[in-house]
Amino acid sequence: MRSSWGPGAADAHRDNVVATRRLLEACASTRPRFVLASSSSVYGDATRPCTEDDPVDPRSPYARSKAEAEQLVAAAGNTVILRYFSVYGPRQRPDMAFHRFIEAALDGTPAPLYGDGGQSRSFTYVGDVVDATIRAATTALPDGTIINVGNPESTTLRDALDRITTLTGTAPPTVAKDPAPGDVHRTWAGTARATALLGWTAGTGLDEGLRRQVTWHRQRRSGAPARPRSGAPARPRSGAPA
């Protein structure tokens, strides 16, 4: 999101809008189920759990590109739109917050902390996101259905840092940075639709998800094979074809 300002806006448009249009064109003749990975950023700032029928309020070029991609997908056939909320876990991209904070705790190199740490997010474990995505790809749904994929608990970044401190035994050193433009104070996932249509809930709590991610970082450093559990046990799929 931060990199989408200035020259990065063109990259966000290319990666999210142009690429989505090309994929839809490639699927036009066969019409397979098309699942779009959208983002909670389209909602803007949340004062309560966001539902899929809420108006969108994108605050950054990245968020606007995701909203535009959603419009393209909604006009096509056999499509589902998933709005992911702050995905984390093993193999997370190195530029993402939890990856940076865990590495900072393990090697003492400060990581950037944007704002005062009071911002809240619906941190969602990657294994749960994979589960929801598979269900969305295999469950009969009306064209253009939008579904939030997120943990219904919104947790402050400061609280997450405290949990990382507990798990690693060291407080991650940080360098204070100004809040990034368009960085909302809170994201908060309303997940009733995901439960109703997919039989899905986020089954991995933040403590357990962070424990798995810290384990992956330590194994990666030691050279040991990193085979984290992917997430919660599979649940019966609601309305999924055999």
Residues with catalytic function:
62
**Can you tell me the distance from the alpha carbon of 115 to that of 183, in angstroms, rounded to the nearest whole number?**
9
Tokens representing residue 88 in the block: 């984390």
Query: In Å, how far from its chain's centre is CA 113?
Result: 19
Half-sphere exposure of 138 (CA within 13 A, CB side): 14
Question: Alpha carbon of 170 to those of 163, 210, 219: distances in Å?
Answer: 10, 14, 17
Half-sphere exposure of 220 (CA within 13 A, CB side): 15
